[in-house]
């Protein structure tokens, strides 16, 4: 077991013990506690966590909806590992499973290290908490046991949810400001098109591969000669054009493929080949589809709206 896994077990174990005690022993003996696990709070327990703030590949944190496990106290436990960002419920099968079980009245208690982080969206968390109130489901985290039928508990969890959403907004805003400041200086490392690479100092330089240089230079020379993208594609018949992978384990790997009309248009419209550093050519736009799902689309921006344009930033294939 790794150090991270061991630390996680140490954090989760006390809460698991508290949950079993709450379900097995009934109401707590502390008269000062406003939240009580009454006999009406029956059913299984959903262990929700751990959740990451950024998407992660399938692995230890992927969705794990296990079959019920008898805890020994008569209550069954369903472990739900969310493993995705809590910004939205979109694509979070684990969170939807929790909501579904609560809605069906199959859950006696939901617990996590921090319940307000089950969902960073107040709308999603409020929906879950309202269902928990209607089905008499307890909510438990490291701070205590919450009975949603109690107004004070509902107000406290609502406040924690709002603060959690505000925290995400502040963090995202600070990171975005830092990224834009680096881009304004021409220091933000962006994905480069075929024909360029980053050197050991992080500077943008022409790809040292002579075959790559020749292919890119020939594309521009053929466009000047033919005057059309289709003419370039025809002249490249039998030849390949380079492409470097971005992201994942294949980052930086060089691949070759036949040149297409769409690829020629993208090369001709890319200001990087003229030695310019550009940030803000595209922006992301979230839209609601007819089926109600939210998708993110990339929208091209006109040149006048590019946020950063630094001419002569690096050597160009054209002037």
**Number of domains within the chain:** 2
Q: Are residues 113 and 224 in the same domain?
A: no
pLDDT tens, position by position, 36-86? 555 555 555 555 544 444 444 444 433 343 434 444 444 555 555 455 554
Per the domain annotation, does 174 fall within a domain?
no
Q: Are residues 207 and 305 in the same domain?
A: yes
Domain that holds residue 225: 196-310
Per the domain annotation, does 33 fall within a domain?
yes
Per the domain annotation, does 66 fall within a domain?
yes
Q: Are residues 155 and 281 in the same domain?
A: no
Q: Are residues 36 and 143 in the same domain?
A: yes
Residue 315's nearest CA partner among 176, 197, 157 is 197
Q: Are residues 22 and 140 in the same domain?
A: yes
The rounded radius of gyration (Å) of the Cα atoms in the chain is 27
Residue 161's nearest CA partner among 129, 136, 138, 134 is 129
pLDDT of residue 32: 39
User: What is the helix, strand, coil percentage profile of the chain, to 5?
Assistant: 40, 20, 40
Q: Are residues 96 and 45 in the same domain?
A: yes
Enter the DSSP assignment of 304: G
- Tokens 């490291």 sit on residue: 142
What residue ranges of the chain have pLDDT lower than 50? Answer: 1, 3-4, 7-9, 11-12, 19, 23, 25-35, 49-74, 81, 86
Per the domain annotation, does 91 fall within a domain?
yes
Bridge partners of 300, per DSSP, are 282
Per the domain annotation, does 75 fall within a domain?
yes
Q: Are residues 121 and 232 in the same domain?
A: no
Q: Are residues 145 and 18 in the same domain?
A: yes
Separation of alpha carbons 273 and 263, rounded Å = 14
Burial class (CB in 10 A: 0-12, 13-18, 19+), 97: middle
Q: Give how far Cα 21 sits from Cα of 26, 80, 105, 140, 288, Å.
A: 8, 20, 21, 12, 44
Q: Are residues 94 and 215 in the same domain?
A: no
Nearby residues of 149 by Cβ (< 8 Å), 6 or more positions away = 133, 136
Per the domain annotation, does 265 fall within a domain?
yes
Q: Give how far Cα 268 sits from Cα of 221, 229, 271, Å.
A: 11, 9, 8
Per the domain annotation, does 183 fall within a domain?
no
**CATH at 53:** 3.40.50.1390
Q: Are residues 262 and 301 in the same domain?
A: yes
Bridge partners of 299, per DSSP, are 283
pLDDT of residue 169: 86
Q: Are residues 84 and 130 in the same domain?
A: yes
Three-state secondary structure call for residue 219: helix
Reading the block at residue 310, the tokens are 């630094």
Q: Are residues 16 and 148 in the same domain?
A: yes
Helices 122-134, 151-184: axis angle to 10 degrees equals 160
């Amino acid at each position: 077991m790794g150090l991270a896994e061991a630390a996680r077990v140490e954090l989760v174990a006390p809460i698991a013990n508290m949950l079993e005690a709450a379900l097995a022993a009934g109401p707590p003996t502390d008269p000062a506690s406003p939240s009580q696990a009454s006999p009406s709070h029956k059913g299984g327990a959903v262990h929700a966590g751990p959740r990451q703030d950024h998407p992660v590949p399938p692995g230890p944190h992927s969705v794990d909806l296990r079959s019920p496990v008898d805890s020994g106290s008569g209550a069954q436990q369903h472990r739900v590992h969310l493993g995705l960002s809590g910004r939205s419920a979109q694509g979070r099968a684990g969170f939807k499973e929790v909501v579904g079980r609560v809605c069906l009245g199959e859950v006696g208690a939901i617990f996590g290290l921090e319940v307000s982080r089950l969902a960073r969206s107040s709308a999603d968390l409020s929906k879950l908490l309202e269902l928990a109130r209607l089905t008499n489901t307890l909510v438990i985290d490291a701070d205590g046991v919450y009975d949603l039928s109690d107004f004070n508990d509902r107000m406290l969890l609502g406040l924690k949810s709002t603060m959690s959403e505000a925290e995400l907004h502040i963090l995202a805003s600070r990171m975005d400001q830092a990224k834009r400041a680096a881009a304004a200086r021409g220091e933000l490392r962006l994905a480069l098109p075929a024909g360029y690479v980053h050197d050991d100092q992080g500077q943008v330089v022409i790809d040292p591969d002579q075959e790559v240089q020749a292919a890119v230079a020939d594309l521009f020379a053929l466009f000047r000669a033919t005057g059309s993208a289709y003419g370039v594609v025809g002249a490249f018949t039998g030849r390949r054009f380079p492409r470097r992978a971005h992201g994942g384990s294949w980052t930086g790997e060089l691949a070759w493929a036949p040149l297409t009309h769409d690829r020629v248009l993208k090369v001709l419209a890319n200001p990087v080949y003229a030695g310019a550093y550009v940030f803000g050519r595209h922006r992301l736009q979230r839209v609601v589809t007819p089926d109600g799902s939210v998708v993110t689309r990339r929208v091209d921006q006109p040149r006048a709206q590019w946020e950063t344009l630094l001419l002569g930033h690096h050597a160009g294939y054209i002037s």
